[in-house]
Amino acid sequence: MSIQVMIVDDSAVVRQVISSVLNQVSDINVYAVANDPIFAYDKMQKQWPDVVILDIEMPRMDGITFLKKIMAEKPTPVIICSSLAEHGAELSLSALAAGAFEIITKPTIGVKNFLESSGKEIITVVRAASVAKIRRVKRQVSALTEDKVKKQDDFSHESMNMPLDTDLASLAKTTDRVVGIGSSTGGTIALEKVLTQLPRTCPGIVIVQHMPEKFTAAFAERLNSICAVEIKEASSGDRIIPGHVLIAPGGKHIQVKRSGGQYITIVSEGPAVNRHCPSVDVLFNSLAAHVKQNATGIILTGMGNDGAKGLLAMKVSGSKTVAQNEKSSVVFGMPKEAIKLNAAKEIVDLDDMVKFIN
């Protein structure tokens, strides 16, 4: 059985090019196209697609509204393919939060050439989407979330103005713990589920989520608004301290290194590793080299194998390592590869990940 795909885009060129790309392979069939969600919905009543490729800005109904309608009626893998996604990070993140499987950013100029040159990527994403576990999205906001201004003031006092009589042994024990998390497709929802449940006493966390440049700042800002912990896009020299989460900027690698009695982040440009920048392997390898037994490595849902070898390096160095289980993964690619290498000491359901981190 071939994967039945519907393309919903008001551009005839986009519909034609994506159809041509997908129909080149025998296991994918574009059975329907529509220039707006209203026409698309009528066609879906006759045959529901396995995968939907959806633009955001369209006449009569925008893509995000249609996405929410699909997820409410029959959760289906939806791939957002939009030029708005290139400069509209907030809209794209809203789509991911609403349950979109993946974002493909298309440029405003040269769309035809871009789609043709990205054919292999589009085919890979459609295949992964067809076997993904798509569920109704239930946003969870932590009961620990407090007034953000008060929380920021408290953290400033705790981390920068520590009183002299603080138990230094206890301080060293907590600040030396570093949790590294790597995720990709399905990771935005998985991360939100985990981070919204974390208390402010959790260890410092550094995250690589495969995401385009400029998206990560908006992603971090949105998470920060709904979580008890402090979350920001990482910069070089950021200290890793309890209750703080640092997210690698899109388009840059992140590493963790020791600086005196503290761990800090190093953010730098560099070539893609495992086709990704930032790369989970780059983060995990730095944790293996510089944090060793004080580190915990967690690999979550995602396509491909980024992070598998790095997680193995962490395990060899004495770190705790864990992979998300297949049942709770949207795409069991990255965790599966790590498990195949025997890199994960434990395999954990997403619902139990907070307990593991704490």
- 184 catalytic? Reply is yes
C-alpha 254 chain-centroid distance: 15
From 36, 55, 281, 306, active-site residue: 306
From 184, 279, 317, 319, active-site residue: 184
Cα separation, 182 vs 322, in Å, equals: 11
Residue type, 214: K
From 210, 244, 253, 290, active-site residue: 210
**Which residue from 51, 120, 112, 108 is spatially nearest to 82, judged by alpha carbons?**
108
Cα separation, 297 vs 299, in Å, equals: 7
* 203: DSSP letter: P
Enter the tokens of residue 18.
Answer: 């994506």
β-strand partners of 203: none
**Which residue from 14, 68, 80, 78 is spatially nearest to 48, judged by alpha carbons?**
78
Cα separation, 5 vs 172, in Å, equals: 54
Beta strand residue intervals within the chain, DSSP E = 3-8, 28-34, 51-54, 78-82, 102-105, 178-183, 204-209, 230-233, 244-247, 253-259, 262-268, 295-299, 320-324, 346-348
Give SS3 for 13: helix
| Direct distance between the N- and C-terminal alpha carbons of the chain, in angstroms, rounded to an integer | 44
Judge whether 337 and 305 are in contact, CB under 8 Å: yes
Cα separation, 242 vs 6, in Å, equals: 46
Q: Name every residue whose Cβ is closer than 8 Å to that of residue 274 and which is 6 or more positions away in sequence.
A: 280, 281, 304, 305, 306
Sign of the four-CA dihedral 19, 24, 30, 31? positive
Catalytic positions are: 184, 210, 306
